[in-house]
Amino acid sequence: MENSIKTDGKYRYIEVGEGTPMIILHGLMGGLSNFEGVTNYFPKKGYQVLVPELPIYSMPMLKTNVKNFAKYLEQFIEYKGLKDVILLGNSLGGHIGLLHTKLYPEMVKALVITGSSGLYESAMGDGYPKRGDYEFIKKKAQDVFYDPAVATKEIVDEVFATVNDRMKLVKTLAIAKSAIRHNMSKDLPHMLTPTCIIWGENDSVTPPNVAKEFHELLPDSDLFWIEKCGHAPMMEHPDEFNDILAKWLEKRKF
């Protein structure tokens, strides 16, 4: 994945394929490679898949919040000259997608959220994160998935490095607080953008009742479940995730 990251102006992103633009938004601890399954699958279906690297750790401290990430996304869309985009976000990425859709509804044709924050957040858990305790961080990373084996050493090492970098840790906590503050329950009933909600039945970070609440509050949404699956369905069950999304896009003629 690393080789295919483009640097263009102030943006770093992956871009594959041609056609309807699909922008993928990663979560707080998630790298661009978390969406490898989606990035490999949808270009063959006639989509231009873009995965921008969000400036989670490079934004000035006072601007490190969900709203500024949504504005950054809008600047990226304008920079690339895109319109009628499909936004796909996991965890914090879903929240950024939701807020962007609220702020710029004319730009977004469809929204896809999975394990999204915006209504409820236990992502920081209890006493998280403990710096310097590798086993604790490993357990936390494994808890994100139904199958702990998905939390490879590479993933655990990345999270461990993040929480042991003081500035990154401070920003991680600032973003988590911003996500909790920026609850969208009052906004969702006014958001008419067609939304596909794909959720892991065993998500312990944003539990299943969160998905049901998103579904109830969003006027035009469809909810799909993936069994034996935690907080990142596109990583744990990439084939099933892609299949659900492809069928939904086809049914909605997107």
Per residue in 62-78, pLDDT (tens digit) is 899 999 999 999 999 99
pLDDT of residue 214: 97
Beta strands at 5-8 and 11-16: parallel, antiparallel or unpaired: antiparallel
Most confident residue range from 50-59, 71-80, 144-153, 154-163: 71-80
The pLDDT value given to residue 122: 60
Mean pLDDT of 126-130: 53
DSSP codes joined into one string, 116-185? --SS---TTTTTPPPTT-HHHHHHHHHHTSSSGGGS-HHHHHHHHHHHTSHHHHHHHHHHHHHHHHS--T
The arithmetic mean of pLDDT across residues 175-200, rounded, is: 94
Which band of pLDDT confidence, cut at 50, 70 and 90, is reported for residue 2?
Answer: very low
pLDDT value of position 23 = 98
Least confident of 16-25, 97-106, 164-173, 236-245: 164-173
pLDDT for residue 30 is more than 80:
no
Q: Which residue do the tokens 């329950």 mark?
A: 185
Mean pLDDT over residues 230-252, rounded? 96
- Average of pLDDT values for 227-238? 95
In tens, the pLDDT along 189-200 reads 999 999 999 999
**Res 128: pLDDT:** 52
Average pLDDT in the chain: 91
Give pTM, 2 decimals. 0.93
Residue 10's alpha-carbon distances to 28, 55, 124, 201, in angstroms, are 20, 10, 30, 38
